[in-house]
Amino acid sequence: MSGGPELMTHHAYEEPVDDGRPDDDGKPVLTPEQRKKRRWKIIRRVAYAFVAVFFVLPAIAFVITYFLVDVPSPTEVAQNQSQAVTYLFADGSPMGKDVPRGGNRVLLTPEQIPDVMKHAAIATEDDSFETNSGFDVGGLLRAVYNQATGGTGGGSTISQQYIKKATDNDAPTLTRKWTELAKSFKMNQTYEKKDIITAYLNIIYFGRGAYGVGAASQAFFHKDAKDLTFSEAALLAGLIQQPGRSENPKVAQDRWNTALDRMVKNNYITAADRAAAKFPTPIPLEDSKQQAGAPPAFVVQQVKDELAAHDIPEDRYYSGGFVVQTTIDPKAQQAAEQAATEALENQVDDNLLDALVAVDPKTGGVLAYYGGKPIVQVNGQDQAGRDWANTPQNPGSSMKPFDLTAFLKMGKGLDATFDGSNNRTFDGRVVRNAGPGSSCSQECTVAEAMKRSANTVFYDMVLNQTHQQPVKDAAREAGVKTKNDDGGQSIISTKDNNISLGGGETQITPLDMAAAYATFAANGQQRPRHFVLKVSNAQNEVAYEASTDAKAAFDSDADKSRQIAGNVTEALKPVIDFSHLKCPSGHECAGKTGTQQHTKTAGEPSWAANANSQTWMVGYTPSVSVAAWVGGDGNKPLHGKNNSPIYGSTIAGPMWQKFLSLYLTGKPGERFDKVDRIGGEVPPPPSSDVATTTDATPTDENQGGDGDNNGNDGDQGGNHGNQSSSQESTPKHTKTPPTSKETPTKSDEPDN
């Protein structure tokens, strides 16, 4: 048909042509080639920006940083290390200076440091040292990965470690790391490798107060660095990572093995050398006498430990020019040293040791600390003494206040009654009292039992009423620091009922005892024990200051905690007179003796059967808590004149009394606060200015203490009490009549 509409059955797709006309949005229509070019243009610009941001700009910044920074020389670093630490008493008067062993070091030349020492350090700390430019890219990537995944291990080269130590800056910031990398790179462009490893070994910290390998070789092996063997060098190199644990034998052995293995891997020693290597035992820690004018060695160690826990570790301790104001009262320290020294002057037993610690209940500060002689003679040689004030021992009956605390927390009081007769049987195990003076009736009050130290009452109390865990809790709440739980030294075992009488595996340090009894003196307010008041650096800035914040120890309610502590004090006041001890005039005292019987072994003399191995007197006034310990190193039979046994009240008690007499002379009188008796009112105080005088005394005054007989409040040493431990958790009624009146054999007696 002509003139009609054209029938369209198909139109082929035609690529749009850029004819200059805009699209619907008003933009030019691009051809495919134009679109492709635009995409690549965008990609190139992004790539340029990426390179600029992540490569060019950092490179420029790195170059600028490179020219701006300086690399400290070892001489400059040495001037800021090994500075003496000045110690002050609490009143600000000088105590002395702690001068590090490395204080008089000489910077060694590359020729004075043997290759074995250089190789040991390189293999242990930076095995790419010979080829890297100051930083190891692989190590950096590993460090980044470890930080992202929560792993351990860094990527620092020897050059970086040198810079970090030289600048004393290890802040985890990008700025610090960036500057460190620039300085490390510059160091490698400026110095030869032999000079870099020499500089590193001249300033790095090895432990024992020794900065630099010259000081370390003397401190550990008493020889010049040039004479070090490869085995000795391996130990020193291994300790670089853990210098603060250099005296831990296991750590030292592990680090030595690691260093030797890496030396073999790097072909510095042969496999045969490795197999033949023997661990190089360091010389004793105290290889020379304490320098004149130095503070007490054991106080220094306690201060170091305390500062390490507050971000001033040992490698910073000697580098800050620090002034440490301690809590030590000069009068109290002098009194402690005098009392402890005089206590053993006329004794005939050379195995006797002693310790005394005094703590301020109002602050938690340690007023006096005597742990024995810091230097002792062994085979004619001077060696480091052991700190007996921080060595755990069986506390014996001085544990009973914690039994009582757990009992009071149950809402039961001093007027509760138990069977206090002698030779009571618990689950087939006979428990005895120390002697006639320590037993009481079958209706014995808790207050009377504490005064007499009746073992049967407290064994029954813990076994059948409080149980063991609450006793441990009470001791820790008062301030005892236990291993594992609190990072301390003391051990409180709840696996059997020996805890009730302070025997078996339960062992507490004199430091812990003084701190824990201080909580009773402070009306149930516990303050962390501490040796440091304040630390100032070389710029007179405060680097650390102790907190004296208190918390209610025995109950979340401060009034309840106060009442519990006050009832413990009320029970302990009569013990002073009962143990033939006296408080200074005008002062009230409370406290408890304790004794642990020696376990006789084959070959010992007959008198050892009745000997004791540990004795205590722990007591307090409102202003000072004092733990006095006299004992032996382990289970040794101790004796007085004519091989007579010693007790808590025969040496430790008078030492405690002597300290209080010296320290409190001239100080105002003091009395304990009154509290409501749990279950009733506290009886009116006696007219005397001292602790309550009782009408009961031990049958034999020579036995002393809480009516101790045959050694100690019934205390038995060693492991005898563990036999029936599996049966001791069965609850029973309070008053169990005795089933045997015979004197038990030692294997049936409880530890105490």
What is the C-alpha separation between 364 and 466, in angstroms, rounded? 28
What is the C-alpha separation between 469 and 748, in angstroms, rounded? 23
What is the C-alpha separation between 238 and 277, in angstroms, rounded? 15
CATH, domain 354-363+391-748, list 3.40.710.10, 3.30.360.10, 3.40.1410.10, 3.40.50.720: 3.40.710.10
HEC letters along 231-270? HHHHHHHHHCCCHHHCCCHHHHHHHHHHHHHHHHHCCCCC
pLDDT at 691: 36
DSSP-assigned states of every residue in 102-130:
GGG--PPPGGGS-HHHHHHHHHHH-TTTT
pLDDT in tens, 706-720: 333 333 344 433 333
DSSP-assigned states of every residue in 554-576:
S-SSHHHHHHHHHHHHHHHHHHH
Domain ranges of the chain: 33-67, 74-276, 354-363+391-748
pLDDT in tens, 454-486: 999 999 999 999 999 999 999 999 999 999 888
Angle between helices 158-167 and 115-125 (to 10 degrees): 90
Core vs surface per residue 360-390: b (16+ CB within 10 A) or e: bbbbbbbbbbbbbbbeeeeeeeeebbbbbbb
pLDDT at 46: 73
What is the C-alpha separation between 255 and 125, in angstroms, rounded? 12
Span between the terminal Cα atoms of the chain, in Å: 129
Length of the chain: 752
Domains 74-276 and 354-363+391-748 in one fold: no
pLDDT at 21: 56
pLDDT at 358: 98
Domain 74-276: give its CATH code: 1.10.3810.10
> Taking the model in full, what pTM does it have?
0.68
The H or E element containing residue 751 is: none
What is the C-alpha separation between 576 and 695, in angstroms, rounded? 13
Is the C-alpha dihedral spanning 619, 624, 630, 631 positive or negative? positive
Q: Are 718 and 611 in contact (CB under 8 A)?
A: no
What is the C-alpha separation between 90 and 534, in angstroms, rounded? 10
Q: List the structure tokens of 604.
A: 């010992």
**CA distance readout (Å), 137 to 132, 148, 149:** 9, 17, 18
pLDDT at 169: 59
pLDDT at 32: 80
Mean pLDDT, the chain cut into blocks of 10 residues (752 residues total): 48 50 65 77 72 58 58 66 85 89 68 95 90 63 53 66 72 61 72 88 86 87 92 95 89 95 95 95 68 80 94 84 95 97 93 96 98 73 80 97 97 95 92 85 95 96 97 98 92 96 96 98 97 91 93 97 98 96 96 92 87 95 98 90 88 97 96 90 45 34 35 37 32 36 33 40
Q: Among all residues, which ones are annotated catalytic?
A: 125, 397
What is the C-alpha separation between 156 and 125, in angstroms, rounded? 8
pLDDT at 609: 85
pLDDT at 749: 35
pLDDT at 26: 65
HEC letters along 354-387? EEEEEECCCCCEEEEEECCCCEEEECCEEEECCC
Q: Are 622 and 588 in contact (CB under 8 A)?
A: yes
What is the C-alpha separation between 259 and 401, in angstroms, rounded? 51
